């Protein structure tokens, strides 16, 4: 359900009132009853809550229902709009842990998360920068990659939630190569058979022959060369300032970026409304909205549920691709896979 003080409950309600979502999956909400009731009212959705303490929704769910597993009983002062609390952060932690457990034991096929406030998660004593790192630990310490995806552009990140000043030391040969590998393997599995990857430079103009940095020659170019030797269709390092223009025209299936804002600024410019955050490398399927808790909008009914809907639909399509896995096209949605990709 995400942060009860943010827009999570209302965008969940709006998404689950849409037959395009409930037509493709049987959603089980993990969260707080009072927060979801309030979200339903804010969204103006015609939905009633069915308590599902131990169950998953039936094969034929009753129309207009939200199946809810109540994992918290927050007090009114712990869910004031725009006022995150440690209790809310702790509740988010429980929702995420339970969802991961249900995915791991096969009770559910996938999880889609609403936004959390990372500060309140940490204030509750859970020292994680975000879902991505928490899920990596909960599911066995896998190396994971954050991808944000829309129809026109996909980006994956070598470093995620890090101070910009730390990025250069974290851009290592091993990290760049493993991000390329995980991006390639995951795209091949879910989205395109033979993905074409662009790998970005860290510095302006690829370092301009060493004048503005040498990470390109020392680290990124050798990592791209190693990936190519493994048969991965990757090119780079390429200058970030021009590459996105070509990537958005279909030149690449994903762009491997060195740091958070290098990838997320162009992604959100094109796909703020419908972008989906996917964690690659996990043994489970996890998607998420591409935005945060939007405290300025919480409770107003003005928040767009489009990314929440897209995250739910993509999770369901990925799960179906697993169920029906075969030699046929692995693309669950056809999202942005250019011809010949
Ligand atoms: N998946 C997750 O759990 C994410 C959580 N966050 C967390 O969210 C909190 C707030 O982060 P911010 O940087 O302020 O980003 P934000 O995405 O919450 O808000 C940025 C701007 O976008 C607008 N906005 C966000 N979602 C919207 C929607 N669905 N419809 C219409 N407008 C929307 C907001 O009103 C605000 O003006 C932070 O604690 C951050 O860590 C941020 C990104 C992802
Ligand atoms: N900017 C994306 C973001 O912060 C999402 O993080 P996570 O909670 O999905 O790890």
How confident is the model over 50-66, as pLDDT tens digits? 998 888 888 888 889 99
The pLDDT value recorded for residue 324 is: 65
The pLDDT value recorded for residue 336 is: 42
The answer to whether 286 is annotated as binding is: yes
Concatenated DSSP letters of 137-204:
HHTTS---EEEEE-SS-EEEESS-S--GGGHHHH--HHHHHHHHHHHHHHHHHHT-SS--EEEE-SSG
What's the gap in Å between 255 CA and the centre of ligand 1?
A: 23
Residues in the chain: 341
The answer to whether 268 is annotated as binding is: yes
* Nearest atom, ligand 1, residue 113 CA: 1
**Atom 6, ligand 2: residue with shortest CA distance:** 130
**Atom 34, ligand 1: residue with shortest CA distance:** 294
The answer to whether 324 is annotated as binding is: no
Q: Which residues line ligand 2 (CB under 6 A)?
A: 130-132, 264, 277, 288
| Alpha helices, DSSP H, located in 209-259 | 215, 221-229, 240-246
**Cα 189 from Cα 88, distance rounded (Å):** 36
The pLDDT value recorded for residue 339 is: 28
The answer to whether 126 is annotated as binding is: no
The answer to whether 117 is annotated as binding is: no
SS3 117: coil
The pLDDT value recorded for residue 322 is: 77
- Asked if the ipTM is above 0.95, the reply is yes
**Atom 23, ligand 1: residue with shortest CA distance:** 294
CA dist 322 → 72, 107, 136, 156, 283 (Å): 32, 15, 20, 22, 12
Ligand number with the minimum distance to the CA of 119: 1
The pLDDT value recorded for residue 325 is: 60
What's the gap in Å between 108 CA and the centre of ligand 1?
A: 27
What's the gap in Å between 92 CA and the centre of ligand 2?
A: 14
CA dist 294 → 6, 134, 162, 222 (Å): 6, 22, 21, 41
**Atom 3, ligand 1: residue with shortest CA distance:** 115
Ligand number with the minimum distance to the CA of 264: 2
What's the gap in Å between 109 CA and the centre of ligand 1?
A: 27
Compute φ and ψ for 218, nearest 5 degrees: -75, -35
Ligand number with the minimum distance to the CA of 114: 1
What are the average pLDDT values for consecutive 10-residue runs of the chain, which has 341 residues? Answer: 97 97 95 97 96 84 91 93 95 97 96 96 95 95 94 97 96 98 96 94 94 96 98 97 95 97 97 96 97 97 97 96 56 39 25
């Amino acid at each position: 359900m995400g942060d009860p003080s943010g827009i999570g409950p209302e965008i969940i309600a709006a998404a689950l009132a849409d037959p395009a979502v409930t037509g493709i999956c049987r959603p089980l909400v993990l969260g707080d009853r009072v927060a979801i009731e309030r979200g339903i009212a804010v969204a103006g959705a015609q939905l009633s809550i069915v308590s599902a303490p131990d169950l998953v929704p039936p094969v034929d769910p009753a129309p207009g229902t939200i199946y809810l597993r109540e994992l918290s009983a927050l007090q009114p002062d712990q869910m004031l709009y725009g006022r995150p609390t440690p209790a809310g952060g702790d509740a988010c932690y429980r929702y995420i842990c339970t969802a991961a457990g249900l995915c791991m034991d096969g009770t559910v096929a996938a999880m889609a998360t609403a936004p959390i406030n990372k500060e309140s998660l940490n204030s509750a004593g859970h020292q994680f920068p975000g879902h991505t790192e928490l899920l990596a630990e909960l599911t066995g310490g896998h190396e994971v990659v954050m991808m944000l995806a829309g129809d026109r552009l996909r980006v994956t990140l070598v470093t995620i939630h890090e101070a910009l000043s730390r990025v250069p030391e974290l851009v290592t040969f091993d990290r760049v190569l493993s991000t390329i590998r995980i991006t390639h393997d995951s795209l091949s599995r879910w989205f395109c058979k033979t993905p074409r990857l662009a790998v970005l430079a860290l510095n302006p103009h690829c370092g301009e022959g060493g004048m503005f940095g040498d990470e390109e020659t020392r680290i990124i170019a050798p990592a791209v060369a190693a990936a190519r030797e493994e048969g991965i269709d990757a090119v780079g390092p390429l200058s970030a300032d021009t590459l996105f223009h070509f990537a958005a025209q279909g030149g690449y299936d994903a762009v491997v970026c060195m740091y958070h804002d290098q990838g997320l600024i162009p992604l959100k410019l094109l796909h703020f409304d419908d972008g989906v955050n996917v964690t690659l490398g996990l043994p489970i399927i996890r998607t998420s909205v591409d935005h945060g808790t939007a405290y300025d909008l919480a409770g107003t009914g003005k928040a767009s549920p489009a990314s929440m809907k897209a995250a739910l639909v993509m999770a369901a399509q990925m799960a179906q691709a697993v169920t029906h896995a075969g030699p046929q096209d692995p693309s669950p949605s056809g999202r942005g896979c250019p011809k010949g990709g």
